[in-house]
Amino acid sequence: YLEAALERAQDPATEGPRRARLAPLLARAYTHLGRFDDAARLWTLALEGVAPETSDYTSMRRTLGMTHFWRGDHDQALLPADQERER
């Protein structure tokens, strides 16, 4: 049902707010199912709708890094932390 909700949230008029709420929920579900590639794609999508100075952004960046780690992409997992240090 989350996938269907995300598809319906693609309406350009409401895309940003709806997608920002739905993408993290579906990303978490994908993570729990071991669908790490799908989860990483959605965490990246969710980050586009969040202001970089917010705690939500930092939390999502961390979770994206952990998702890369869990799928075995350790170099990619370190990128969010490295980028945060450079800010």
CA distances from 56 to 19, 33, 63 (A): 14, 23, 10
Paired tokens of 19:
């997608």
Label residue 87 by pLDDT band (50, 70, 90): low
| Stretch 24-47: mean pLDDT | 89
For the cut 80, the answer to whether the pLDDT of residue 29 exceeds it is yes
Token look-up 């995300």 returns 6
| Mean pLDDT of all residues in 16-39 | 83
HSE value, Cβ hemisphere, 13 Å, CA-based, for 48: 11
